[in-house]
């Protein structure tokens, strides 16, 4: 039987539907008196969650039309958020996204719905790293996907669809440090900027800081870069040199709607390309006072990304 690790979650608030809670389990009993057209059941957990692992055991009373899983990236019922679920959109396993005004959409799906069985306890584990989402069931990875846009909130909890009873047990979380990916040339004075400003400021805010030249192991470097950008909460890009590699990586981050903090030397501001001129940038110089200003501004930007 699959093991469940991490810290136990034992405090809940019923956001939608009828729920019963115990210290180690939760039972969804249907939509209740205020039956909604969407039949969504939501129970929000007390801790905040951004990056890491959420896991639980799920038992469906029926598999036809019923879906259940874990939601995350939650701010409110009206804001976008995601869920990893067993049984949805006609598949056994799905990553789904809620969009305000439009409802639920499938991001990735796998497996035949007919392979699920009622009254069987499935161990669901969801790993969230930036916009990367991996879903395992009974210790087997069943799908991996990238969220269309960064997750907005830090709320998470239990998700159901339909009016059938669903049992959840042993809900646990294991949090990990959010990542920031640094895009810049590998030469002076940018190495010093990275070493003395970017890395210490981000590390002090509990970010894991990654630069592509620090990645080790086999593989194609372009794929490594794309994966690191997908796994990050934000990117920091030094664009003074207008390096083609820097702009390619920044473009990929923009395609994912990733928060991007731009750094540019004061004398290069007027030469910034039109496509990025409308983005806010931290302008700096190499003086002692300039270092203090860029440290302060970078810290403010990173705190905003964390929601502080």
Q: What is the pLDDT of residues 104-157, one digit of tens each?
A: 899 999 999 999 999 999 999 999 999 999 999 999 999 999 999 999 899 999
Q: What is the mean pLDDT of residues 13-36?
A: 86
- Name the 3-class secondary structure at 31: coil
Q: Are 66 and 85 in contact (CB under 8 A)?
A: no
Average pLDDT, the chain: 89
- Quote the pLDDT of residue 224: 87
Q: Which tokens go with 229?
A: 């950008």
Q: Is the pTM of this model over 0.75?
A: yes
pLDDT, position 223 = 86
For the record, the structure tokens of 87 come out as 């049984």
Q: Produce one character per residue of 186-207: b if its CB has 16 or more CB atoms within 10 Å, e if not.
A: eeeebeebbeebbbebbeebeb
Q: What is the pLDDT of residue 300?
A: 94
What are the structure tokens assigned to 22, written together? 């115990």
Percent of the chain whose pLDDT exceeds 70: 92
52: tokens are 């890491």
Domains and CATH numbers, the chain: 7-175 (2.60.120.560), 179-306 (3.40.50.450)
Beta strands in 75-196 (DSSP E): 81-88, 91-99, 103-112, 121-129, 132-137, 140-146, 155-161, 166-175, 179-183
Backbone region of residue 242 per phi and psi (left: phi > 0; alpha: psi in -120 to 50; beta: other values)? left
Average pLDDT over residues 183-187: 91
Per-residue confidence at 292, pLDDT binned at 50, 70, 90? confident
Instruction: Decide if pLDDT at 2 tops 60.
Output: no
Q: How confident is the model at residue 98 (pLDDT cuts 50, 70, 90)?
A: very high
Residue 274: is its pLDDT beyond 70?
A: no
pLDDT at 1: 42
- Which of 88-92, 100-104, 253-257 is predicted least confidently? 100-104
Provide the strand spans (E) within the chain: 7-8, 12-16, 18-21, 25-30, 40-45, 52-60, 67-74, 81-88, 91-99, 103-112, 121-129, 132-137, 140-146, 155-161, 166-175, 179-183, 208-211, 234-238, 260-265, 281-284
- pLDDT surpasses 60 at 34: no
* Candidate from 54-63, 131-140, 281-290 with smallest mean pLDDT: 281-290
Percent of the chain with pLDDT over 90: 68
Residue 4 confidence (pLDDT) = 58
Residue 212 above 90 pLDDT? no
Q: Which structure tokens are listed for 301?
A: 């930007």
Confidence grade of residue 220 (pLDDT, cut at 50, 70, 90): low
Residue found by looking up tokens 């239990």 in the block: 158
| pLDDT (mean) for 245-262 | 93
pLDDT at residue 261 in the model: 93
Q: Does an H or E element contain 184, and which?
A: none
Helices 221-231, 244-255: crossing angle, 10 deg rounding: 40
Binned at pLDDT 50, 70 and 90, residue 33 comes out as low
DSSP 8-state symbol, 149: S
């Amino acid at each position: 039987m699959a093991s469940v690790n991490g810290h136990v979650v034992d405090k809940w608030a019923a956001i939608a539907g009828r729920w019963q809670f115990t210290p180690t389990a939760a039972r969804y009993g249907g939509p209740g008196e205020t039956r909604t057209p969407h039949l969504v059941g939501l129970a929000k957990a007390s801790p905040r969650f951004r990056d890491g692992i959420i896991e639980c055991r799920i038992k469906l009373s029926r598999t036809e039309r019923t879906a259940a899983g874990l939601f995350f990236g939650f701010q409110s019922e009206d804001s976008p958020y995601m869920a990893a679920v067993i049984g949805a959109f006609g598949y056994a396993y799905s990553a789904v996204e809620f969009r305000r005004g439009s409802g639920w959409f499938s991001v990735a799906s796998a497996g035949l719905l007919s392979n699920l069985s009622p009254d069987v306890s499935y161990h669901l584990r969801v790993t969230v790293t930036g916009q990367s989402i991996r879903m395992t069931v009974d210790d087997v990875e069943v799908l991996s996907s990238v969220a269309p846009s960064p997750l907005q909130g830090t709320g998470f909890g239990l998700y159901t669809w339909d009016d059938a009873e669903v049992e959840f047990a042993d809900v646990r979380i294991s949090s990990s440090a959010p990542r920031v990916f640094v895009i810049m040339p590998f030469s002076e004075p940018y190495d010093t900027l990275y070493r003395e400003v970017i890395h210490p400021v981000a590390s002090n805010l509990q970010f894991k800081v990654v630069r592509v030249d620090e990645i080790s192991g086999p593989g194609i470097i372009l794929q490594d870069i794309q994966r690191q950008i997908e796994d990050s909460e934000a990117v920091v890009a030094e664009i003074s040199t207008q390096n083609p590699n820097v702009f390619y990586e920044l473009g990929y981050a923009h395609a994912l709607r990733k928060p991007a903090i731009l750094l540019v030397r004061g004398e290069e501001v007027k030469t910034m390309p039109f496509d990025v001129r409308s983005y806010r940038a931290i302008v700096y110089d190499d003086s002692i006072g300039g270092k203090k200003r860029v440290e302060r501004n970078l810290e403010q930007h990173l705190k905003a990304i964390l929601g502080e």
